[in-house]
């Protein structure tokens, strides 16, 4: 096979869908896989990973109902560690929100909310569409004084953004140990102290109530957790969900409504989607119930 001097790396967080995704990738003949404890990677030559292959891969995931966020990076053969670091450049997420790694200075505009995020091995660099969608919807629904829960905090990027948008406090929770460490480091980089707590484990560790919940995990994890998330949310509290494809939006909205959460707004980028919603007050639920009878 002709090879170029550059490669594509796909990185997936560990999940119960690993075998299924790896089977799909095998059919595209990757150069290899790298297995680590908390994530795994597949490597392709850039000549192999063209738009056709990428499209077929996304279609195969959709057919199998896999909606696991993953990172794609291109890197050069020579010196690729340095290349990788340099490839983490600032990302303009919205008119106000900008993400930059600590080693990359930027000229800030007066209105900029700059999030200093060093990614390490955690998800949440701003290079994935779901992170950007979450940030854009968070910017629209966040209120000064919010008490925020960030489920699957990764680098901590969403909770840090919410605090910079005026939240009073935030709890970030993640099952990964290095995400907890990385989120704590990123808090320090952003001058955030006691107002943010980072927990390692599941949402069972969390005590509410919250006024804003952010959750960028998978479609199935979001749907499974919705009853618990709805309980942790105050009446009139807001929620932002992502980590699923646009084609899965109807299922997620149905699950939201089942749990007393009214969808407010959708956002889409590439094949990904985020939805914001609001907790319906109990009295409104009762009123709606009466009108139905
Ligand atoms: N919040 C970041 C963002 O929006 O970019 C990172 C999101 S990343 C797609 C999902 C994160 O959720 C990963 O860091 C993963 O370790 C974590 N995670 C997966 N399942 C989880 C669960 N059941 N409870 C808590 N965290 C979970």
Give 17's pLDDT tier (boundaries 50, 70, 90). Answer: confident
Of 82-86, 117-121, 129-133, 257-261, give the range with the top mean pLDDT: 257-261
Centre of ligand 1 from the C-alpha of residue 178, in Å: 12
pLDDT tens digits, one per residue of 48-81: 888 899 999 999 999 998 888 899 988 776 555 5
**Which pLDDT does position 292 carry in this prediction?**
32
Query: What is the per-residue pLDDT across 203-212, written as a single tens digit (0 to 9) for each?
Result: 999 999 999 9
Index of the ligand 1 atom closest to the CA of residue 135: 4
**Distance of CA 108 from the midpoint of ligand 1 (Å):** 29
The alpha carbon torsion through 246, 265, 239, 224 (nearest 10 deg) reads -30
Residue 244 above 60 pLDDT?
Answer: yes
Cα 237 to ligand 1 centroid, rounded to whole Å: 21
DSSP H/E element including 199? strand 196-200
Which tens digit of pLDDT belongs to each residue from 72-126?
988 776 555 555 556 677 889 999 999 998 888 888 888 899 999 986 645 656 6
Q: Whose CA is nearest to atom 12 of ligand 1?
A: 152
Q: What is the mean pLDDT of the chain?
A: 87
pLDDT above 90 for 267: yes
Nearest to 77 by CA among 40, 119, 46: 46
More confident residue, 190 or 19: 190
Q: Residue with the nearest Cα to atom 5 of ligand 1?
A: 124
Closest residue (by CA) to atom 18 of ligand 1? 152
Mean pLDDT of 3-15: 82
Does the pLDDT at position 284 exceed 80?
Answer: no
SS (H, E, C) 163-192: HHCCCCEEEEEECCHHHHHHHHHHHHHCCC
3-state secondary structure of 269: strand
Among 121-130, 151-160, 256-265, 277-286, where is mean pLDDT lowest?
Answer: 121-130
Extract the tokens encoding 262.
Answer: 């009214």
Give buried/exposed letters for 16-50 (b at 16+ CB in 10 A, else e): ebeebbeebbeeeebeeeeeeeebbbbbbbeebbe
- What confidence score (pLDDT) does residue 112 get? 93
Our mutation pick for probing the ligand 1 site, out of 118, 123, 269, 273, counting the most ligand atoms within 8 A of Cβ, is: 123
Closest atom of ligand 1 relative to the 218 alpha carbon: 9
The partner residues of 233 in beta bridges, in order of sequence, read: 210
Q: Is pLDDT at 241 greater than 50 in this prediction? A: yes
Most ligand 1 atoms within 8 A of CB, residue of 137, 154, 222 to mutate? 154
Distance 156 CA to ligand 1 centre (A): 10
Atom of ligand 1 nearest to the CA of 122: 14
The pLDDT, as a whole number, for residue 90 is: 87
Residues having CB closer than 6 A to ligand 1 are 13, 69, 122-124, 131, 134, 151-154, 157-158, 173-176, 179, 202, 216-217, 221, 243
The predicted pLDDT at position 78 comes to 56
Residue 92: φ, ψ to 5°: -85, 115
Given this model, what pLDDT does residue 2 score?
A: 47
């Amino acid at each position: 096979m002709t090879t170029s001097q550059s490669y594509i790396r796909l990185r997936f967080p560990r999940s119960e869908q690993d075998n299924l995704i790896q089977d799909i990738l095998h059919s595209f003949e990757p150069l290899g896989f790298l297995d680590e404890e908390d994530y795994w990677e597949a490597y392709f030559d850039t000549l192999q990973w063209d738009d056709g292959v990428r499209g077929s891969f996304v279609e195969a995931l959709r057919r199998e109902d896999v909606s696991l966020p993953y990172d794609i990076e291109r890197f050069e053969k020579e010196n690729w560690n340095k290349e990788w670091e340099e490839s983490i450049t600032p990302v303009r997420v919205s008119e106000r929100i900008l993400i930059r790694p600590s080693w990359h200075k930027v000229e800030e505009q007066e209105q900029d909310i700059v999030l200093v995020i060093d990614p390490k091995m955690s998800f949440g660099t701003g290079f994935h569409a779901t992170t950007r969608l979450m940030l854009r919807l968070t910017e629209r629904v966040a209120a000064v004084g919010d008490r925020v829960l960030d489920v699957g905090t990764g680098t901590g990027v969403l909770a840090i953004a919410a605090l910079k948008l005026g939240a009073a406090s935030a709890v970030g929770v993640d099952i990964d140990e290095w995400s907890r460490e990385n989120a704590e480091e990123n808090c320090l980089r952003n001058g955030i102290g006691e107002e943010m707590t980072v927990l390692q484990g599941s949402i069972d560790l969390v005590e509410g109530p919250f006024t804003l919940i952010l959750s960028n995990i998978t479609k199935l994890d979001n749907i499974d957790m919705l009853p618990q998330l709805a309980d942790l949310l105050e009446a009139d509290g807001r929620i932002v969900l992502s980590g699923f494809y646009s084609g899965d939006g109807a299922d997620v909205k149905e699950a939201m409504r089942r749990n007393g959460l009214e969808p407010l707004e959708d956002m889409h980028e590439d094949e990904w989607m985020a939805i914001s919603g609001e907790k319906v007050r109990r009295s409104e639920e009762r009123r709606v119930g009466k009108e139905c009878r």
